[in-house]
């Protein structure tokens, strides 16, 4: 079984931009099932020239995760099936003291423009990585900051 262990933070300053390695990856993602704090989610993501279908179990810091490559044309079609807002963002990678951080800068929907979140995936739950100086409040256990919750919130009437 696949397991994801990660911590998530708001980004507190633009200082992260100076540490970026390589070009950013544009992403679009939608949810076929957006789950909730106690329910799984099913996401389709286009990332550059690749596409993935991901099933995530409930949870915050530690949860089941299954990810499978899918043909780009299939992913494009699956995005049209998403009952929720399709999110658009650019993902950047930053190495900080032996850990790879991903920074997601949201572009769309317009309500998310300006939101920047940082995540670090861990090998074990007890790992406590040094935090970069540009991270702000930890939102790992705040369900409002999952991508699925953002898509749900932007789709509410």
Q: How far apart are CA 25 and CA 120, in angstroms?
A: 17
Contact between residue 9 and residue 16 where contact means Cβ atoms under 8 Å apart: no
The total number of residues written for the chain in this structure? 157
Torsion, Cα of 59, 57, 136, 48 (10° steps): 180
Q: Which of 31, 101, 106, 145 is catalytic?
A: 31
Phi, psi at residue 116, to the nearest 5°? Answer: -130, 125
Q: How far apart are CA 84 and CA 31, in angstroms?
A: 7
Phi, psi at residue 13, to the nearest 5°? Answer: -155, 170
Phi, psi at residue 156, to the nearest 5°? Answer: -70, 140
Is 68 annotated in the active site? no
Q: How far apart are CA 69 and CA 147, in angstroms?
A: 19
List active site positions.
31
């Amino acid at each position: 079984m696949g397991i994801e262990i990660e911590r998530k933070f708001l980004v507190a300053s633009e200082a992260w931009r100076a540490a970026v390695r390589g070009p950013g990856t544009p992403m679009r993602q939608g949810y076929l099932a957006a789950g909730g704090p106690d329910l799984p989610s099913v996401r389709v993501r286009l990332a550059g020239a690749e596409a993935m279908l991901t099933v995530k179990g409930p949870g915050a810091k530690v949860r089941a995760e299954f990810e499978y490559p899918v043909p780009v044309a299939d992913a494009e079609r699956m995005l049209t099936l998403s009952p929720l807002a399709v999110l658009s963002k650019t993902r950047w990678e930053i190495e900080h003291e032996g850990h790879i951080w991903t920074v997601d800068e949201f572009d769309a929907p317009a309500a998310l423009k300006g939101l920047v979140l940082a995540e670090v995936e861990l090998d074990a739950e007890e790992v406590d990585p040094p935090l970069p100086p540009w991270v702000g409040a930890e939102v790992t256990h705040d369900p409002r900051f999952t991508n699925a919750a953002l898509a749900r919130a932007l789709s509410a009437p």
